[in-house]
Amino acid sequence: MDIDNPSKPKAEGKLLVVILVGAPGSGKSTFCEHVMRSSTRPWVRICQDTIGNGKAGNKTQCLSSAARALKDGKSVFIDRCNLDREQRSEFVKLGGPQIDVHAVVLDLPARLCISRSVKRTGHEGNLQGGKAAAVVNRMLQKKELPKISEGFNRIMFCQNENDVQSAISTYSTLGPLDNLPDGCFGQKNPDAKIQVGIMKFLKKVDVPVNVASRENSIRESVSPQIVEKKNSCCREEEEEACSSIPVNAGFESKEAKDLDGTPHDAPTLAFPSISTSDFQFNHEKAADIIVETVEEFTNKIGNARLVLVDLTHGSKILSLVRAKAAQKNIDSQKFFTHVGDITHLYSKGGLHCNVIANAANWRLKPGGGGVNAAIFSEAGVTHVIHVLGPNMNPQRANCLNNDYNEGCKILREAYTSLFDGFASIVWTGAEQSKGSSEDIGSKALELCQSNGCTRKHSSNSDQKIKRDGIHASERSKRCKGPQDDFGANSTNSRAGKLSPENRNIDGSMSKAWGSWAQALHRIAIHPERHEDDVLEISEDVVVLNDLYPKAQRHLLVLARTEGLDSLANVRKEHLQLLKKMHAVGLLWAEKFLRADGSLVFRLGYHSVPSMRQLHLHVISQDFDSKHSKNKKHWNSFNTGFFRDSVDVIDEVTNHGKATLKDDDRLLNMELRCHRCRSAHPNIPRLKSHITICQAPFPAVLLENGRLVHAPQ
């Protein structure tokens, strides 16, 4: 309302600069036409193909025309490809106090854009026919999706026709005085540049082997840049997926053997070399990547096996990989090569595999085609993972034009996603297995519940499984102990199963800790066995870096007292130990602050940790980390679930114990910035916000020394 005339409505609507982002054939011009035909807001379409009196012009002409339209009080569509930041930057600068800058990203499949471009006639820019395919392909290779940090108020991503129709409806119904909320909307694959590396899991239907017409259901889609979980659970995040794979999970454990006499009860993935055949990827570089990713994965698995397969005995890639694996002393029982047809590994080659990867191309459709059916005809195969890798062949779609920096990155991520996918299948098998031990079934249930999975699981237990698997930072990957930590000899007790020795001082019952959750306990009790991991050892505490830090600086201070598993066990007699842990944490925070005075630290405990042994988190408040990937990661440090060390000390001093805020609702709360408390729909958008947020911390954190920072 107008202050001087309360009855007069205040015109609050802002002008808009809507920058369309998309390849030729993505539908930018059609989008503009639909909106302008039905909108009550005055719009001007700025098209570089027609800016010069109906002929093609340049960016400068588009900028001038847009500025004139805005001066006349009209909103504008910038109808050009705008596929990289540099192309968008000058148009973003048109924004101001009364002008919002939006992006509508028509991120449709490359093949759809190519098909449209090739088929159209009479195009304004004359991009049509056979030449269009090469142009679209080349432009998509340099695609850089827009980010809020470029200066946009709002970004709307459209990845299919339904998304496009939704965006058209949004802008068509926007009146002259209407505004749209700021933020990113619809983004599903924020880091993807090229649609390569797609994997599809196809699960074998439980029907007799001799049934010819098998039906297959898509289990999960994974891209090497971002893992999109459609129907998948039992996995917290990519690098956690293979931290401690249950042995024989989900597969029959009999005395069956391969033809060479090797027992084949272990979960086994057979995979070909990705991209080195039809996609012409350099063999030497590919071999390095295979061995590096295999080495990382085999360090984390029990008796699961990886097998690289090729058709020919004289295969160059097999020779290179064998030599490089030998140099790194990779366990030949966990990784080896095999010559044979991937569709007949057992029937003709004697190699028993549960999961097989198929190097696919972009034409792959749901159902998998003939190769998929042929693979499933092999006895014992439960899943096929189709992998689309980077292309260096100019005769195939999405060629990278010999850009091996990008190609190696994509190939490495493709193998990592493949192995993580295998781990996910193994874990899912653990949950479904009829003959597996109780601890394996419980582990699968824990992992599902920790990820907020809503799918119901069968279980013989009436116990409610707590969230032992939430925090990547506390995974058993930290421990590099003997195999029985994770392997065949481990004898985990069922998570959540109670016994007299699990009774707390106050009579309450605590859960038993599975072997995988014992890693911090082992380090605390025997730190001398983990010298490579620890930063400091004293009589009372051990200090080590968090293996998957959630910020630039993230340490754990472990108590060395037996029986002190978590805050639930803390009583008044532990007060001096709590103070010692806090003092040690402060010293490390101050050490980091001397190196970087811009950091701010917080010291605290999780109300219900996922790992045994009381440990204090010392974490910088930038939260700049690739390992913070889901809501529970964020909320475990930015809600009441995280108990400040100073408050815990006060509570134990005054009441003899700490208050535990064990409420799932805390971990499932909406994502809010830890400084300004603004809400955000997902982690990528939250991260984009916190990089630029300069708001002061909430008053409650500024009290009682909860934040540690350099002297002002």
Which residue among 185, 220, 247 closes a domain? Answer: 185
Same domain, residue pair 149 and 206: no
Residue 533: is its pLDDT beyond 60? yes
The mean per-residue pLDDT over the stretch 679-703 comes to: 91
Q: What is residue 369's predicted lDDT score, i.e. its pLDDT?
A: 54
Q: What are the pLDDT digits (tens) for 408-439?
A: 999 998 898 888 888 777 765 554 443 333 33
How many CB atoms lie under 10 A from the CB of residue 378? 22
Asked if 391 and 277 sit in the same domain, the reply is: yes
Considering the domain architecture, whether residues 584 and 642 belong to the same structural domain is answered as yes
Looking at residue 372, what is its pLDDT?
57
Q: Which of 227-231, 382-386, 533-537 has the highest mean pLDDT?
A: 533-537
Catalytic residues: 615
pLDDT, residue 531, reads 81
29 and 160 co-located in one domain: yes
Whether the per-residue pLDDT at 687 is higher than 70: the answer is: yes
Q: At 643, give phi and psi (nearest 5°).
A: -100, 120
Q: Which distant-in-sequence residues (6+ apart) come within 8 Å of 6 by Cβ?
A: none
Provide the pLDDT for residue 349: 65
Instruction: State the pLDDT confidence band at 710, using cuts at 50, 70 and 90.
Output: confident
pLDDT at 512 over 80: no
Are residues 272 and 348 both part of a single domain? yes
Task: Categorize the per-residue pLDDT at 363 as very low, low, confident or very high, splitting at 50, 70 and 90.
Answer: low
The crossing angle, in degrees rounded to 10, of helices 283-298 and 404-432 is 30
How confident is the model over 83-92, as a mean pLDDT? Answer: 91
pLDDT at 446 exceeding the cut of 90 = no
The domain that contains 92 carries what CATH number?
3.40.50.300
- Is the pTM higher than 0.75? The answer reads no
Confidence of residue 655 (pLDDT cuts 50, 70, 90): very high
Task: Kindly state whether residue 501 falls inside one of the protein's structural domains.
Answer: no
Which residues make beta-bridge pairs with 257?
A: 263
Q: Do both 540 and 587 map to the same domain?
A: yes
**Does residue 530 share a domain with residue 421?**
no
pLDDT digits (tens, 9 = 90+) for 211-262: 222 223 222 333 333 233 333 333 333 333 333 333 333 333 333 444 444 4
Q: Is residue 443 part of a domain?
A: no
User: Do residues 520 and 474 lie in contact, with contact meaning Cβ atoms separated by under 8 Å?
Assistant: yes
User: Please, are residues 483 and 303 in contact by the beta-carbon 8 Å criterion?
Assistant: no
Residue range(s) defining the domain that contains residue 19: 15-185
Q: What pLDDT shows up at residue 371?
A: 58
DSSP letter at 133 equals: H
596-637 pLDDT per residue, tens: 999 999 999 999 898 899 999 999 999 999 888 889 899 999
Which residue type occupies 634?
Answer: W
Comparison of pLDDT for 442 and 196, the residue scoring more? 196
Question: pLDDT: is 293 or 500 the higher one?
Answer: 293
Boundary (domain end) residue, out of 436, 456, 483:
436
pLDDT of residue 218: 26
Decide: 20 and 78 in contact? Cβ < 8 Å: yes
Q: Which of 413, 436, 459 is the last residue of a domain?
A: 436
Taking Cα atoms as reference points, which of 10, 71, 18, 70 lies closest to residue 47? 18
Encode pLDDT of 323-335 as tens digits: 999 888 888 888 9
Closest of 57, 62, 22, 59 to residue 45, by C-alpha: 62
Is residue 365 very low, low, confident or very high in pLDDT (cuts 50, 70, 90)?
A: low
Give the CATH number for residue 636: 3.30.428.10
Question: How far is the first Cα of the chain from the last one, in angstroms, to the nearest whole number?
Answer: 43
Q: What angle do CA 386, 25, 21 make, to 5 degrees?
A: 90
- Indicate whether 176 and 287 sit together in one domain: no
Mean pLDDT of 21-41: 90
CB 451 within 8 A of CB 236: yes
Q: What are phi and psi of 558, to 5 degrees?
A: -95, 135
| Higher-scoring residue by pLDDT: 195, 88 | 88
Which of the residue ranges 17-26, 54-63, 155-164, 644-653 would you say has the lowest mean pLDDT?
54-63
Same domain flag for 362 and 423: yes
Q: What is the mean pLDDT of residues 103-125?
A: 79
Highest-scoring range by mean pLDDT, 49-63, 90-104, 257-271: 90-104
> Which whole number is the average pLDDT over 630-654?
93
Domain membership of residue 171 (yes or no) is yes
In a domain? residue 495: no
pLDDT, the chain, mean:
74
- Inside any domain, residue 483: no
Q: What is the structure's pLDDT at 428?
A: 59
Residues with Cβ within 8 Å of residue 364, at least 6 apart in sequence:
198, 200, 386, 388
Q: Is residue 74 domain-shared with residue 204, that is, in the same domain?
A: no
Q: Give the percent of the chain with pLDDT over 70.
A: 69
Residue 585 counted as domain residue: yes
Q: Into how many domains does the chain fold?
A: 3
The dihedral built from the CA positions of residue 466, 470, 471 and 472, taken in this order, carries a sign that is positive
Are residues 167 and 226 part of one domain?
no
Which of residues 334 and 367 earns the better pLDDT score?
334
Residue 47: inside a domain, yes or no?
Answer: yes
β-pairing, 154-158 vs 99-106, is parallel
Share of the chain above pLDDT 90, in %: 34
Query: In whole angstroms, how large is the CA radius of gyration of the chain?
Result: 29
Residues 503, 509, 515, 517, Cα dihedral to 10° = -120
Q: What is the pLDDT of residue 452?
A: 31
Q: For residue 609, is it within any domain?
A: yes
Between CA 221 and CA 450, with CA 636 as vertex, the angle to 5 degrees is 45
Please identify which residue in the block is written with the tokens 């729909």. 681
Give 370 or 537, the one with higher predicted confidence.
537
Tens-place pLDDT, residues 288-304 = 999 999 988 877 666 78
Domain match, 247 and 142 both: no
- Judge whether 442 and 496 are in contact, CB under 8 Å: yes
